[in-house]
Amino acid sequence: MRLAIAGIAAGLTVLGCAVAHAGPLTPDYAQAPNGVGYGHVRTLTPAWSPVQVPRPDITDTPLATTVVAHPFLSPWVHRLIPVPAGTAVELRGAAQVSVPAIADGRELVVNPNGHCVFDGPTAAAGHPTATALPAVHVDTPGFQLVIEPTVRR
C-alpha cells in the first residue's frame, strides 16, 4: 500500500497541472522514462529542484495557445521512492488544464506528460512479468488527468 501511495504521489508530482478537450486524454507513449534524452543543460529548473522541466513546446493558433511539457522527477527524488527488491513500478500519465478566453480571447491549454520507472534493488529493466494496474482517470470540464501504473516483477 505504501508503494502504491508513493507511486501515485510521484506520478502526480511529475504531472503537475494541465487542460480538457473532447476525447479521452492519454499519456505520450513515445516519451522515454525519467527524462532520458534531457540533459540538465536543456532543463528550465536547477538540479536541486524535485521536478525537472525541459523547455516546453508552445503552439499558437488563432483559437488557443497550447503548452506541452514533459517534466520528470529528479534522480535524487527517484532514489527516495521505496520499491521492493526485484520489483519495478512504471507510471505513465498526462494532465490537461484549459483556461478559456484569456486576455486576447484565446484559450490557454497546458498539457504536461510524465513517464517514470522506479526500480527496486535487483529489479531487471524490462522484466517479462508486467501487471497493468487499474488506471486513474479524472475528467471534468476544465481538467483531465490519467495515470497508468504497471508493476514488473
| DSSP notation for the chain | -HHHHHHHHHHHHHH------SS-----TTPPGGGTT--GGGBSS-TTSSEE-BPPEEEE-SSEEEEEE--EE-HHHHTTS---TT-EEEEEEEEEEEE-S-TTS-EEEEEEEEEEEEEPTTPPTT-S-EEEPPPEEEEETTEEEEEEEEEE-
Would you say how long the chain is, in residues?
A: 153
pLDDT at 49: 93
Higher pLDDT: 125 or 15? It is 125
User: Is it the case that residue 2 has pLDDT exceeding 70?
Assistant: no
User: Is it the case that residue 12 has pLDDT exceeding 90?
Assistant: no
Q: Where are the domains of the chain?
A: 2-152
Confidence label for 43 from pLDDT (cuts 50, 70 and 90)? confident
130-142 pLDDT per residue, tens: 899 999 999 998 8
Q: What is the mean pLDDT of residues 40-61?
A: 87
pTM beyond 0.85: no
